[in-house]
């Protein structure tokens, strides 16, 4: 049985399939072959859409969406309802956080969209609140791990603050050129890992090197193609060690958080 196709399919497909000849069915077959080849090229990558996994209730006013888990903590999206409070806690892992929407308060520190914050293992965090609600990306958190979260909350009751956290505002730091219309901002690097922001102007593209270790991508703003896969804000992708995107490009502009391990990670 043939799929139910729109009447204007020819006009939609013809520009992409030129100089392909043949009738409508032949052009459709060519398109399906291309789609199959693209799926094979991208099968190593894991992509999480913003509505693909459900939000889970973590505690009153806090909901989480699971993205990825390793021995060094989990990657999650965290949603705080207006007035919600995450109690004081002590970090088990190095934890990176980026506000995607709304604003978040950590003690006297007020963070907005695009602001980056990293807390080091053993450090104690003041309570986290959001007056109006927010969505934040966290990498290296114990949220979602009941035992790990309990350890962090109990650790927050013990004295000593540990190492000072690092905060980089959206407007802080220097952007370095990678290609025409493509720049990067280094955020943090140590212990076989590095994190950075990647920004693509509208119409820009570049080809990254092969990833030495597994590499996480979180869309902070805009839209970008990773090969043939389009990612939008709050969507996430994992590239395994030894893989490579044929190209990363954006039609409208994008800001992307990239965390790459320089060695293979333990799950």
Question: Per residue of the chain (267 residues), what is the pLDDT tens digit?
Answer: 445 555 555 555 556 555 555 677 777 777 666 666 666 666 889 999 988 888 989 888 999 999 998 888 889 999 999 999 988 878 888 899 999 999 999 888 999 999 999 998 888 878 889 999 999 999 998 876 665 666 666 676 677 778 888 999 999 999 999 999 999 999 998 878 899 999 999 999 999 999 999 999 999 999 999 998 999 999 999 999 999 998 999 999 999 999 998 765 443
Secondary structure (3-state) at 52: coil
The H or E element containing residue 14 is helix 9-17
**CB-based contact 79:63 (threshold 8 Å):** yes
The CATH homologous superfamily of the domain defined by 173-261:
Jelly Rolls (2.60.120.10)
Radius of gyration (Cα) for the chain, nearest Å? 21
Structurally, what CATH architecture does the domain formed by 56-168 represent?
Answer: Sandwich (2.60)
Does the pTM of the predicted model rise above 0.75?
A: yes
Longest alpha-carbon distance in the chain: 75
67: left (phi over 0), alpha (psi -120 to 50) or beta: alpha
């Amino acid at each position: 049985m043939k799929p139910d196709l729109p009447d204007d399919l020819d006009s939609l497909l013809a520009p992409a399939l030129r100089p392909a000849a043949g009738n409508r069915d032949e052009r459709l077959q060519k398109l399906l072959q291309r789609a199959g080849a693209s799926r094979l090229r991208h099968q190593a990558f894991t992509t999480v859409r913003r509505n693909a996994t459900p939000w889970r209730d973590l505690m009153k006013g806090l909901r989480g969406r699971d993205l990825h888990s390793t021995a060094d903590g989990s990657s999650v999206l965290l949603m705080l309802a207006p007035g919600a409070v995450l109690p004081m806690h002590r970090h088990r892992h190095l934890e990176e956080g980026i506000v995607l929407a709304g604003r978040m308060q950590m003690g006297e520190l007020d963070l907005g969209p695009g602001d980056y914050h990293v807390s080091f293992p053993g450090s104690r965090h003041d309570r986290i609140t959001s007056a109006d609600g927010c969505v934040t990306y966290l990498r290296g958190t114990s949220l979602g791990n009941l035992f790990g979260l309990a350890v962090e909350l109990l650790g927050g009751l013990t004295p000593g603050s540990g190492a000072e956290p690092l905060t980089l505002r959206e407007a802080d730091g220097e952007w370095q050129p990678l290609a025409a219309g493509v720049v990067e901002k280094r955020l943090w690097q140590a212990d076989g890992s590095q994190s950075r922001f990647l920004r693509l102007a509208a119409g820009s593209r570049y080809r990254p090197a092969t990833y030495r270790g597994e590499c996480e991508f979180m869309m902070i703003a805009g839209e970008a193609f990773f090969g043939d896969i389009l990612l939008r804000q709050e969507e996430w992708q994992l590239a395994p060690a030894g893989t490579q995107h044929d190209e990363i490009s954006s039609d409208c502009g994008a800001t992307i958080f990239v965390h790459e391990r320089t060695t293979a990670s333990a799950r």
